[in-house]
Amino acid sequence: MKNYLRQFQAMNRGVSKKTIYIYGTILALIGIVVLQKIFLKPQILVIVIALFCAVILHEVAHGYVAYLMGDPTAKIAGRLTLNPKNHIDPVGTIVPIVLILMGSPVVIGWAKPVPVNYSLLKNSKKGILLVALAGVFVNMINALVGATILKFLPKEKVTEILINVLHGTDVNIFIGMNILVFFLVYFVLINIALAIFNLIPIPPLDGSRVVLAFANLKVRRLLNAMEKYGFVIILALLYFGILDMIIQPTFNFVIQNLVKYIGLV
């Protein structure tokens, strides 16, 4: 957050106090609206917490495997920790809250990417592959752990909340163990979605690193050239519904099998 504030101050150096007051007033009003919405719909906080638990564990997995493969960059940067302050990206935190408030069917958020120096990895191809798959693997383990806990909770309650979540119906999280089940359901769903999403071979997603591990020089150059446009490409795929067409079939297949594992059918 401090880095963002410094960058903001540098960008607005020389701007009049009147303009700064206008900026401050607008941000304060937006903040009041967001806080009001969260107060009226506290489920948002539970969803965001589930999202960032999944994202932070994903990033730490990348850094830890990179460290095991010979790259200490993430360790030196203090990123091999579960402390949220070392990972949370302010913009990546605000975006999912705004999307939830807008009623968006797709919610995305992100942590700061863990730095990896691929040139330091032992066995370059194997190292790139293992680092790329580490986050996806951890997300699937998270989903399995969450589903295993749900397996031992009352089936009627889990079924009720899962159906409500999948249909976008509000859940009163202050009744009995609703908040626990609600968190676990979202934790499972978010981890599955993250794992599938990150396997798409578009930079900077993990799927592109998997391709990079086996690619020839021509494909590597193409992926490197795409890197700076990757986020725009992802947004375009999201806007035109192509991303949903890619993710949804696999997501549904995994959910159906997890529902059987939990014992809901």
What are φ and ψ of residue 111, in 5° steps? -105, 175
Give the Cα separation of 51 and 96 in Å (integer).
9
Token pair recorded at residue 72: 């200490």
Tens-place pLDDT, residues 129-165: 999 999 999 999 999 999 999 999 999 999 999 999 9
- What distance lies between CA 262 and its chain's CA centroid? 24
What's the mean per-residue pLDDT of the chain?
A: 85
Tens-place pLDDT, residues 17-46: 677 677 678 767 767 776 777 677 788 889
Tens-place pLDDT, residues 52-94: 899 999 999 999 999 999 999 999 999 999 888 888 777 666 6
- Cα-Cα-Cα-Cα dihedral sign, residues 210, 211, 212, 216: positive
Provide the residue ranges of all domains of the chain, joining segments of one domain with +. Answer: 1-40, 42-262
> Is the pLDDT assigned to residue 10 strictly greater than 80?
no
Give residue 123's pLDDT. Answer: 83
Report the length, in residues, of the chain. 265
> Is the pLDDT assigned to residue 4 strictly greater than 90?
no
| Helices and strands: H and E segment counts in the chain | 12, 0
Which stretches of 41-68 are DSSP H helices?
Answer: 43-68
Predicted confidence band of residue 104 (pLDDT cuts 50, 70, 90): low
Give the Cα separation of 235 and 217 in Å (integer).
27
